[in-house]
Amino acid sequence: MKLNKETILKLITEHKEEDIKKANELVASDKYYRPRYHIAPPNGLLNDPNGLVYINGEHYINYQWSPVQPYHGMKHWRLVKTKDFVNYDDLGVSIIPTEECEKTGAFSGSAFKEKDGIKIYYTGNIEENGEMIEEVQIKADFIDEKIVNKRVVVEHDKNLFTPHVRDPKIFEYENKMYMIFGAQCKDDMLGGLVFYKTEDMEKYTFDRILKPSLNETYGYMWECPNLDYLEGKILFMQSSEGWFNEKNPYELNNSRNVVYTQLDKLDFENNKLNEKSVLKTMDFGHDFYAPQTYWADNKLVMIGWLGAVDVQYPTDEYSWHSMLTIPRELSWSGETLVQKPYSTFKENALSNTVKKVIKDLEVNKTIHLEFELNDELIIKLLNDKNESVELKFTNEEIIFDRTKQSAKVDWNFETPRKALRKFKNQKVEIFIDSSSIEIFADNYETIFTSRFFVKDFNKLELNKEQEMIISEIKQMQLK
């Protein structure tokens, strides 16, 4: 589907029924790439996960959504909920940006459990003539599975920030409550972590901006920042704009990079992050951005956008763009973040599990693999035309290569992705869907998340025999 500039900034309520119907028909015609068990938009473009919250045994998952066209346009929120990550209720559009303070889009935000119920915090975007002029932080109530009572709680401070100030989250530190969000600071045109303090959760006043303690900038804008207490430490992660490393084949190789570090405490005295080491790449794949966390049954769960900024995919012709990752539960191994597939998801989604030694395997759209690896290995996913993607474990590296797939992704970062191999003996787990792969390697310390586009792939081939635990993955039921 080609971009229609005249309608890309329309609200869902302003789109013609015939255009919505046409988009839905295009989506339904996609027999190659539409996911079986990942959350994807009914049409149009999905990006950041938002407002994640666990209530009475149910996971509420909002995501940014630009309706009808597979391009970044008027950002709404959509909402689904699930108990088991197999059966979902589609609760429809959760935010339509109808207010003046969000007139060009409801941008990303989070959920927080307050004394009188769940609250939603997000950014209202305001543009004029195609240029962003300001962003404000909005609070709303989540009542009867609806987001209502929107109000601006932090105005845009043009003296401190450029128009880029977004993605709020509530964080408690040393018994005080703060709203944090990312910003581009006006004095140096670099990113920073902004703190606004509050006594009553309704009035917020500027407190400080935290900058790097080490000699790095971490980019000109820090999007989707998260601060979380995890096993006695603080996890800080952010989605960095403008921080690259072209000389390093392993780090910071995307158009925008998700990075993290472990903190013992924040350095409020000097307004610094107090990081002990330079922020590290969280995911080495092609398509991972804007992850958000929430707590469920004493586990810190993370979901990310299984997509990338500044890229269009072969699914454009079917009028849909991107999906969300599977949920992951987080922990530490020393100062390294461990990301495991969320146990509740695995328990419910996997079926017909067998253990066997294989050198090749028939595949029908989805498969789950789990195995112990102690030497080199090559895994290819391919079709009858020998179009393929390849995962290679050498003694030194882990490499994912999608340069030989059926349909190409046209952007400036389309190279094989690499990570240094940490462990000779390691656990590996792989989730494959119709056009996505999530690779958990190095005992869950090295992750690759990527889209791939191999039409009618039907087999796995290994360069040698390998014992594996193989499972089918239940198809998502959305009602």
Spatial CB neighbours of 13, under 8 Å, sequence gap ≥ 6: 96
Q: Name the pLDDT band for 475 (thresholds 50, 70, 90).
A: very high
Is the pLDDT assigned to residue 367 strictly greater than 90? Answer: yes
Three-state SS letters, 425-474:
CEEEEEEEECCEEEEEEHHHCEEEEEECCCCCCCEEEEEEEEEEEEEEEC
* Average pLDDT of span 122-134: 94
The pLDDT of residue 78: 98
DSSP 362-381: E-BSBEEEEEEE-S-EEEEE
Residue 105, both tokens: 């889009």
Locate the domains of the chain by residue range: 12-341, 352-478
* Average pLDDT of span 425-433: 98
Sheet holding 256-263, edge to edge: 221-230, 233-241, 256-263, 280-281
Residue 255 contacts residue 413 (beta carbons within 8 Å) = yes
Work out whether strand 320-321 and strand 44-55 pair parallel, antiparallel, or are unpaired: parallel
Q: Name the pLDDT band for 352 (thresholds 50, 70, 90).
A: very high
Phi/psi at 443 (nearest 5 deg)? 55, 40
The pLDDT of residue 410: 85
pLDDT digits (tens, 9 = 90+) for 223-235: 999 999 999 999 9
Residue 128 contacts residue 187 (beta carbons within 8 Å) = no
Give the C-alpha separation, 370 to 477, whole Å.
Answer: 24
* Average pLDDT of span 51-67: 98
Could you tell me how many residues make up the chain? 479
The pLDDT of residue 380: 98
Ramachandran category for residue 270: left, alpha or beta (phi over 0 → left; psi -120 to 50 → alpha): alpha
pLDDT digits (tens, 9 = 90+) for 301-335: 999 999 999 999 999 999 999 999 999 999 999 99
pLDDT digits (tens, 9 = 90+) for 43-52: 999 999 999 9
Fold of 352-478: Jelly Rolls (2.60.120)
Phi/psi at 113 (nearest 5 deg)? -85, 110
Model pTM score: 0.98
Is the pLDDT assigned to residue 23 strictly greater than 90? Answer: yes
Give the C-alpha separation, 140 to 63, whole Å.
Answer: 16
E-strand stretches of 272-424:
280-281, 289-296, 299-306, 320-321, 323-324, 328-333, 336-341, 350-362, 367-373, 377-382, 388-393, 397-401, 417-420
Give the C-alpha separation, 400 to 392, whole Å.
Answer: 6
Is the pLDDT assigned to residue 247 strictly greater than 90? Answer: no
> Any bridge partners for residue 54, and if so which?
59
Q: In the chain, what are the helix, strand and coil shares in percent, each to the nearest 5? A: 5, 55, 40
* Average pLDDT of span 86-97: 98
The pLDDT of residue 130: 86
Residue 301 contacts residue 295 (beta carbons within 8 Å) = yes
pLDDT digits (tens, 9 = 90+) for 155-214: 999 999 999 999 999 999 999 999 999 999 999 999 999 999 999 999 999 999 999 999
Q: Name the pLDDT band for 136 (thresholds 50, 70, 90).
A: very high
Residue 268 contacts residue 293 (beta carbons within 8 Å) = no
* 3-state DSSP assignment of residue 19: helix
Is the pLDDT assigned to residue 290 strictly greater than 90? Answer: yes
CATH second-level architecture of 12-341? Answer: 5 Propeller (2.115)
Q: If you average pLDDT over every residue of the chain, what do you get? A: 97
> H-helix or E-strand containing 135?
strand 131-143
The pLDDT of residue 246: 82
The pLDDT of residue 87: 98
The pLDDT of residue 245: 87
